[in-house]
Amino acid sequence: MNQAAELIVPNLSMWVTFALIFGALGLYAVERVPVEVTSIAVLGALMVYFHLQPVTAGGVANALSSERLIAGFANPALITVLALLVVGQGMVRAGVLDRGARIVMAAGGGHGAVTIVITLVVVLVVSGFLNNIPVVVIFIPIMEAVARRFNTSASKVMMPLSFAAVLGGMTTIIGSGTNLLVSGALEELGETPFSFFQFTVPGIILAAVGLVFTLLFVPKLLTDRASGVQEIMAGGGRHYLAQITIGPDSKIIGLQSSTGIFGAYPDLTLRVIERGEDAILPPFEGVELAEGDVLVIAGTRAALADAVAHDPGLLVPDLQDGMEGDGRWQSGERMLVEVMVAPASRMAGLNLRMIGFRHKFHCVVMAVQRRSRMLRTQITEIRLEEGDILLVQGRPEDIQSLRRNQDVVLLEWSAEELPALDHAKRAMMLFSGVIICAGTGLLPVVTAALLGAVGMVALGVLTFAAAARALDSKIFTMIPAALAMGLAMQATGGAGWLAHTLISALQDASPAIVLSAFFLLVAALSNIISAKAAAVLFTPIAVGIAHELSVPVEAFAVAVVFGANCAIATPIGYQTSLLVMGPGHYTFIDFARAGIPIIIILWATFTLLAPWYYGL
């Protein structure tokens, strides 16, 4: 324990660091101040204090200079996370990942719980062989689609997604960067580094226990925070009337219905088929769909958006107003938005043909919603009324031009970007390149991710504005602040002092009890100073404890691996937590509410398993 003993003496700078860290955590928890403000404030406070009270460490006159404290903004981990957010947004924009969601949903057999279980098991297995960050980036939109499909709040599935990825990362040496850091530190200390599968057996046991707990209890511990947003984006359950004209290459030609339902779009309700001068009403027994049929359908906004996003040719524009146009509403960035026919609008009493909507606004009306009326006619024949809601598709600049028109009210909160399916191959090529280069070691992860993000913009998958919107200001400020706090704890001796205090209190205990307490300490501090910082700090302490107790180093080194990977009770402990914070609409306290019970379960499992497995 001599290596730990060097960091025993408390000092004023240590207590100031503790005060700033706990103050920051308190502000993060209550969120009365924006997270970004808290992060920058604590970073500024550290810079001011250590400028006035320099700390000497490792032969450096001021180990906590302003330059070192703000170096987190150039940290490869931060750049990697931000770049992967852009890459992930490119995959979403191109509609690639939603296809993965369809495969997952098909595997689930239409059962929401089964689908979510399958998804999380896949994430756990894949995370054992791929870096957790890209795995979570891949599955965030898939889980969003699964949640939307089964009317489940995103807040119920996003944190379990992060937990599954972290648990899977415990099973192999490449499952997490934390594992590699511990192995490298062991080698530097003259100990034997880990082999690829050295801790796979106990890792699988802990991962299995953690996943079962996650599936059964974590959704119940989380507040339903996303349902309101989902309800808005789905149109609050309102049904719109739309029409589909079956073109020559349509996938639904020849479909028959024996039950009155056509299975190509199960979330849409078919109300009438117009074939020439004839109107076919339900039930549609034995009817076979043919080219040129006009289908009058009803569905929620989410169902209509999903259908059009994955089959842009469903809507034939010349039926909207009978005029030729430049088709710009079908190319480039496409957005979906709701507009309301304003009171005293000149559009009232006219149908879309009379208005020339597409020709006049370069946008197309996909659907019409009118309260308390069961409409069964083509939307091009409906005479609009004041208060009607139109579901409109067009380019962002054309959508914004509707704001200046007094005949309609643009409901800007309803704007939603549609996938650009023509970019799918480019997005998949770029993403595959990132994974191959990073996975094989051909390029560092940060380099591969950064090049992938640049490629998404350079090849037109994302506009620069769309790429900028993908960046999360909370991540951009929290990671540098967390790194600065961790650096301050190390340089002032705070982390080492906490470790030595615990070890001294347990010096007469058995190795099994010391190992259990050590695991718990690493797990607790990793949530404050981050998993990677905990791995670097505690590996030499683990070696010193093992030598002092005359037990194998492996058991305590593995405790560092598993304990550091328990950095899930705060969003600043592990990068995947930051990734799901936005999509899940989580607060700081949500991570503690769900993460602390899992940490306790993993600690109890390790406490029972490790002494037997390592012969302590």
Cα 576 to Cα 162: distance, rounded to the nearest angstrom = 6
The predicted structure's pLDDT at residue 506: 75
The predicted structure's pLDDT at residue 598: 94
- Backbone torsions φ then ψ of 273, nearest 5 degrees: -115, 120
Cα 91 to Cα 85: distance, rounded to the nearest angstrom = 10
Q: Is the pLDDT at 145 greater than 90, yes or no? A: no
CB atoms within 10 A of CB 604: 12
Which of 415-419, 463-467, 602-606 has the highest average model confidence (pLDDT)?
A: 602-606
DSSP string, 446-491: HHHHHHHHHHHHHTTSS-HHHHHHHS-HHHHHHHHHHHHHHHHHHH
Q: Mean pLDDT lowest for which of 229-238, 376-385, 419-428, 528-537?
A: 229-238
pLDDT digits (tens, 9 = 90+) for 207-256: 999 999 999 988 888 877 654 444 444 444 567 777 777 777 777 777 77
State which amino acid sits at residue 159. M
The structure tokens listed for 169 are 């990362």
Beta bridge partners of 338: 391, 411
Which residues belong to CATH 3.30.70.1450 in the chain?
Answer: 237-421
Coil/strand/helix, residue 141: helix
Element (H, E) at 178: helix 177-188
Q: Is the pLDDT at 562 greater than 90, yes or no? A: yes
Q: Mean pLDDT lowest for which of 364-373, 464-473, 509-518, 559-568?
A: 364-373
Q: Is the pLDDT at 77 greater than 70, yes or no? A: no
pLDDT digits (tens, 9 = 90+) for 150-188: 777 778 888 999 999 999 988 887 777 778 778 776 776
Give me the sheet containing 240-245, strands edge to edge.
278-280, 269-275, 294-299, 240-245, 364-369, 389-394, 334-341, 408-418
State which amino acid sits at residue 188. E
The structure tokens listed for 357 are 């909507």
Coil/strand/helix, residue 165: helix
pLDDT digits (tens, 9 = 90+) for 541-556: 787 778 777 788 889 9
- Name the nearest CA neighbour of 521 among 444, 410, 589, 606: 606
Angle at 151 between CA 148 and CA 152, to 5 degrees: 85
The predicted structure's pLDDT at residue 220: 85
**Is this model's pTM higher than 0.85 or not?**
no
Q: Mean pLDDT lowest for which of 39-43, 328-332, 586-590?
A: 328-332
The predicted structure's pLDDT at residue 547: 77
Q: Please, what is the average pLDDT of the chain? A: 77
CATH topology of domain 237-421: Alpha-Beta Plaits (3.30.70)
Distances (CA, A) of 273 to 139, 153, 260, 290, 377: 38, 35, 12, 10, 10
Distances (CA, A) of 51 to 18, 61, 494, 557: 17, 11, 18, 36
Confidence of residue 599 (pLDDT cuts 50, 70, 90): very high
